[in-house]
A and B are shown apart, each in its own frame.
Chain A
Amino acid sequence: MNPLTIIWNFLSNTYHRLGSPREFYTISLYTTPVFGFLFLVLSLFGTYFGLFVAPADYQQGDSFRILFVHVPVAWMSLFVYVVMATAGAIGLIWRMKMAFVVTICSAPIGAAFTALALLTGSIWGKPIWGTYWVWDARLTSELILLFLYFGIMAVYYAFEERKTAEKATALLSVVGVVIVPIIHYSVEWWSSLHQGPTVFAEGGPKMPPEMLLPLAFMAIGFMFFYGYALFLSMQARVLDNERKSRWVKEIVSGKTN
């Protein structure tokens, strides 16, 4: 067998296994704690290097340390959206049960990251820009993202029948994905008070390694947090959705978690 066939078989096997609520639940019991552990280790390293080791910024002093939470949560607000919309598309196209669960469980997490990005940015803006809020492209588009997340959550609860609700939620999240490039390029397309790309800038990051390292730790750590929180929430939802099935009763009444 050539390596491509092996990779393809592995991917399609994983896809089919994760597509079944029971297989997802069993696998997630092992992977969820691993995600939580990796998040804890990475974020503790990031906090240590970000608050103790990194030197104060020559212009912003110690206030720049907000960066180590603001930038990761802002990136996550977009990353979660892309995952949520991709899962929504997979659910609509291939009628995959678990994909809808990913979409529905991602929405509150994404909304929380978006709200945090807006709040931390606002608190940071006061001493540095002299204002909590301006209606400029980056801030306004991020606020629209928050309302989009709220809309997606509201649509799910607006339908009585679960299957209809799942489809409507997935559809809205797929349509709304247009906001992601708008937010990303907002600082280039329109003049903005918000600074332009600093880490993924042309010609490499415009940031010294002492600041880049803790930021990388925090950013990757927050990705694992998303995996951790998503799987916890998905486990609860799968148990709820499948509570009448035999395997759920067996797992709940048995010794397994």
Chain B
Amino acid sequence: MNWSEFFHMGGYAFEVWTCWGLTLAVLIAFVIYPKRRKAKIRGEILRQISREQLDQENQGS
């Protein structure tokens, strides 16, 4: 079996590759989105921590 035959999928190229492509896209989205959200929340928490440290230093002086 050669590659062009493989991509042709016996005449069902559109159906087969759309279904596999859609599934792959959804899987990738459900990995990227929570990772981004986690990074964003970590950033917010870090900024909050540095704000609290600044407050403490100001009170100390």
Contact B11 A62 (CB under 8 A): yes
Q: Quick check: B42 and A239 within 8 Å, CB to CB?
A: yes
With contact pairs A116-B22, A232-B38 given, residues A243 and B16 touching in the complex (Cβ less than 8 Å): no
Given A63-B16, A116-B22, A120-B19, answer yes or no on A243-B30 (Cβ-Cβ < 8 Å): no
- Shortest CB-to-CB span from A221 to chain B, Å, is 10
**Number of A-B residue pairs with CB-CB distance less than 8 Å in the complex they form:** 90
Q: How large is the interface on B (under 10, 10 to 19, 20 to 34, 35 or more residues)?
A: 20 to 34
Fill in one digit per residue for A207-235: 1 if any B CB lies within 8 Å of its CB, else 0: 00000000000000000010011001101
B19 touches A126 (CB 8 A): no
* A127 contacts across to B, CB distance below 8 A: 12, 15
Where chain A touches its partner, the secondary structure class is helix
Cβ-closest chain A residue relative to B10: A62
Nearest-Cβ distance from residue A106 to partner chain B, whole angstroms: 11
Minimum CB–CB distance for B20 against chain A, Å: 6
Main secondary structure of the interface of B (DSSP, over half): helix
A112-B45 contact given A124-B15, A235-B38, CB 8 Å threshold? no
A120–B25 CA distance with the chains assembled, in angstroms: 13
Contacts of A252 in B (CB 8 A): 42, 45-46, 49
Could you tell me if A66 and B41 are in contact, using CB atoms closer than 8 angstroms?
no
